[in-house]
Structure 1
Amino acid sequence: MALKRGFFLLAGLCSLALGLVGILLPILPTVPFILLAAYCFARSSDRLYQWLMTHPWFSEALRDWQAKGAIKKGLKKKAYVVSSLSFVISIAIVPVIWVKVMLVCIGTGLIVYLRSIPEIEE
């Protein structure tokens, strides 16, 4: 049990770190990493889970996701814009064709995933 808890704690901390880096680097999506961190903390550390669920930056989106399995329409639009811009810029900058193709595939997958997320009217 301690090994499982330790795994979830480590995964949650790594996910939180990636989510925080994603705030600064647009190519990293913040919301999925914060959702994963909340999932991992719920299984490993009540203190960190409560901290994340009451954090002023993340608490509203986490509560919406937890209660309704959806995100606000405005947040979804921001995710579309930031993700699309970061992928377009990355594709334009990268000189290697196979990396461009990979970025197009990943970006398309992300947009398809975002479209599947239910919206909450604001």
Structure 2
Amino acid sequence: MHRALIQLLWRALAVLSLVLAVIGAVLPVMPTVPFLLVAAWAAGKGWPRLETWLLNHTHFGPHIRAWRERGAVPRRAKWIATVMMCGSALMMQFTTLPLFIRIGVPAVMAAVAIWLWRRPEP
């Protein structure tokens, strides 16, 4: 019973992450790849067939495998993520959000961008 529940939770996380990745593919404000990576990771814990499907997917499989093997991120993905973060940070400055949020969130985005650009490329 306990093992079946754990497997069900891993599968639920994999499905939730996959749904969020699909939403991210449609909505420009939401990322896709991080959710795909989580989906593949969770599937590996409780749904090997889904993990295999993701790893062999023609579009997403090579990126997931590159991340797993070397922590690699394609240059195009780095540029897209950086441009989206810059755009979000810029738009945030024209809102009525508190100053600490308008400064803090872009600072976190800048840290993420630095980390991202330090990742190897496939």
In the superposition, the TM-score normalised over structure 2's length comes to 0.80
CA contact (8 A) 1:20 1:30 kept: yes
Are the structure 2 counterparts of residues 4 and 27 from structure 1 closer, same or farther at C-alpha, using a change threshold of 3 Å?
same
Q: Which runs of 5+ in 2 are unaligned?
A: none
- Residues 1:41 and 1:67: Cα distance change in structure 2 (over 3 Å): same
Alpha-carbon separation, structure 2, partners of 1:4 and 1:62: 24
Query: Residues 88 and 16 (structure 1 numbering): CA distance in 2 closer, same or farther, change over 3 Å?
Result: farther
> What pairs up with 1:38-57 in 2 under 5 angstroms?
38-57=40-59
Compared with structure 1, are the counterparts of its residues 106 and 92 closer, same or farther at alpha carbon in structure 2 (3 Å cutoff)? closer
Structure 1 pair 107–62 and aligned structure 2 pair: CA distance change class (3 A): farther
Larger gyration radius, structure 1 or structure 2: 2
Deviations 1:88-113 (A, max 9, x none): 33x2664x423x75365334323312
Q: Which runs of 5+ in 1 are unaligned?
A: none
SS at structure 2 position matched to 1:8: helix
Counterpart AA for 2:46: S
TM-score between both structures, scaled by the size of structure 1: 0.80
Q: Equivalent residues in 2 for 1:61-72 (5 A)?
A: 61-72=63-74
Task: Give the aligned partner of residue 78 of structure 1.
Answer: 80
The answer as to whether partners of 2:21 and 2:33 remain within 8 angstroms in 1 is: yes
Which secondary structure state, in structure 1, belongs to the residue aligned with residue 85 of structure 2?
helix
More contact order relative to length (CA 8 Å, sep ≥ 6): 1
Percent identity at matched positions?
25
The residue aligned with 1:111 is 110
The answer to whether the Cα contact below 8 Å between 2:93 and 2:102 also exists between their aligned partners in 1 is no
Give deviations 1:70-96, integer Å, cap 9, x for gaps: 21222211111123324433x2664x4
